[in-house]
Structure 1
Amino acid sequence: MDSNTVERTIRPIALQRKNSLVAGHEAGAQNWAKFAPLIETCKLNKVEPHRHRTRVLTAIVKGHKQKVIAQLLPWNFGK
């Protein structure tokens, strides 16, 4: 069994995680642990991560209702 494809796919994530750990503060690693899955989920759903985060934060600031939070998930983006 060859896992090179998977290893190449996750290498940038692992490198960034390690960089966050040595960035000078534990909070960097904690923040990365929160945002990395969101970024990768956007990529899997063919959604540009920066555009998605901008739209989500704008919606929250404008009072987006929590009961319809599913509308802001990456797989529902643009629907």
Structure 2
Amino acid sequence: MAINLDSGFEILYLSDLKYNEMTVEIQYKGQQVAQINKDKGFEKMEIDIYSEYVNLDFLSELKFPLSDFLEAINIASTALRDA
């Protein structure tokens, strides 16, 4: 099942073997951007962000709690709006 947004984003439901629970993949114009999993529970969902620009000596993906990412986006957008 997929959810297509007018913005060019698409949400795809996946059964990735790396995770015990169902995951969703976020694509932008057909390119994979991120994958969200809830293996640690609904309140501690994690997001994997995929980028070809990340230093390969570090990692090719970043992983952190979804709630932290959403909070950072919220704070950044409020700061930008108030600037």
Q: TM-score, normalised by structure 1?
A: 0.30
Q: TM-score, normalised by structure 2?
A: 0.29
Which is bigger in relative contact order (C-alpha 8 A, separation at least 6)? 1
| Structure 1 or 2: more helix by fraction | 1
| Structure 1 or 2: more strand by fraction | 2
